[in-house]
Amino acid sequence: MSQALSGRHFLKLLDFTPAEIAGLVDLAQDLKQKKHEGIPHRYLEGKNIVLIFEKTSTRTRCSFEVAGHDLGMGVTYLDPSGSQIGNKESIKDTARVLGRMFDGIEYRGYGQEIVETLAEYSGVPVWNGLTNEFHPTQMIADLLTIRENFGSFPGLKLVFMGDAKNNVANSLMVACAKMGINFVACGPAECMPDAQLVETCRAIAAENGCEVQLTSDVEEACTDANIIYTDIWVSMGEPASLWEERIKLLSPYQVNAQVMSYAADDAIFMHCLPAFHDTETAVAKDIEERFGLTEMEVTDEVFESPRSRVFDEAENRMHSIKAIMLATLG
C-alpha cells in the first residue's frame, strides 16, 4: 500500500482510483487498531513535516501533529501570521524553500490553485488540509466511519443537507461517486454544487454503479438514507455578512428529528465539525441575538442522539491523516 502511493500528493480525491482510496481506508483502520492496542508505529522516524494553516483548525491541525509524532516525525506549525507566505513571499518561492527542508507539506487555506502550486514546486508530497473547493483528508475519515457502521460502501445512500456547494459537500460527492455510494445533495438551488463537478461525478458514479442527485425536496432526499450529513452554513473565508441570507435559504434544510425520521432505521448522522447545535460559542450567541436561532444546521437533539457519529469521525481524522502521510512518505 505505502509503495503504491509513495511520493504522491494528496490534493483532491479526483486524483485517486477507488482502489487507492479503499487502500487508504484500510491503512487508516490498521493504524487505528495499532494506536488502540498501544503498538508503536514510528515508521517515519527522522522525517520532518511542516503544517501551513492560513485558516483556523482544531481537528486537522491536531491530527497532523499527533499523527506526525506517532510516526516518529518532527512537526513544524506555521499559523496564519507566522510566516512570510502570501505577504512577502509567493507560494512558488515558499514551496521551493520548504521543499528543501521538509519531507512533506500540509496546506490549509483558500483557493485549490494554491495547494496545486505548492505541489508543483515543492518536490515533496503536499497534503490538502482544506481549501475553498475540497477537504479530501476529511473524506478518508468519513469513509472509515461509514465502513465501521455499514461494513462496505456499495449501494449505501448519503444525503448532504444544506450548503451543498461547499468544500465538504464537493468532496463527499466525489468520494461517494468513487466508492459506489448514492449521493444526494439536498438544498436550495442557490447552494447546489458546480455543474461541471456534478457532471464529472455523475460520470464517475456511472462507472461505479451509483448515482448523484440534486434536489430541494427534503422528504424525497432523506427517505431510506443511510447517512445524513451536514456542515456549517457559512464556511471559513466567506464574509460574516452572508449569515442572514444563508439562514433564510438553509433553515428548511436543518437536520432535525423529522429529517432523521425519513431515513433508514439504521441511519447515522455525520458532520465534519465544528457544528452549530447550541449557543455555547461566541458566534452562536451572536446569531441568537441577531436572528433568534439557538440551533442551525443540526438540532442539539440529533447531534447528541445515539445516531450521531460525529466524535468517531473526529477521532478518525487522526488515523486517516496518519495513513495518508504514511502512504505518501513511506
Does 58 sit near ligand CP (CB under 6 A)? yes
272 is catalytic: yes
135 given a catalytic annotation: yes
Cα distance between residue 163 and residue 143, in whole Å? 20
Q: Is 60 in the site for ligand CP (CB under 6 A)?
A: yes
Catalytic site includes residue 108: yes
Given 273, 283, 288, 305, the residue binding ligand CP (CB under 6 A): 273
Q: Which of 1, 14, 236, 242 binds ligand NVA (CB under 6 A)?
A: 236
57 binds ligand CP (CB under 6 A): yes
Apex CA 141: angle with CA 256 and CA 191, to 5°?
A: 50
- Taking a C-beta distance cutoff of 8 angstroms, is the pair 144, 29 a contact? yes
Q: Give the three-state DSSP class for 215.
A: strand
| 106 contributes a contact to ligand NVA by CB under 6 A | no
Q: Which of 222, 231, 254, 277 is catalytic?
A: 231
| Closest distance of CB 62 from ligand CP, Å | 8
Q: Which of residues 164-193 bind ligand NVA (CB under 6 A)?
A: 166-168
For position 272 contacting ligand CP by CB under 6 A, the verdict is yes
| DSSP per position, 254-313 | -B-HHHHHHS-TT-EEEE-S---SSS-SHHHHHHHHHH--S--SB-HHHHTSTTB-HHHH
Q: Which residues touch 187 (CB under 8 Å, ≥6 apart)?
A: 160, 161, 162, 163, 164, 216, 249, 250, 253
Note whether 214 binds ligand NVA by CB under 6 A. no
Provide, rounded to whole angstroms, the least separation between the CB of residue 63 and ligand CP: 8
58 binds, among ligand NVA, ligand CP, none (CB under 5 to 8 A by kind): ligand CP
Going by C-alpha positions, the residue among 64, 57, 48 that lies closest to residue 102 is 48
Active site residues: 108, 135, 138, 231, 272, 317
Binding site for ligand CP (CB under 6 A): 57-60, 130, 138, 272-273
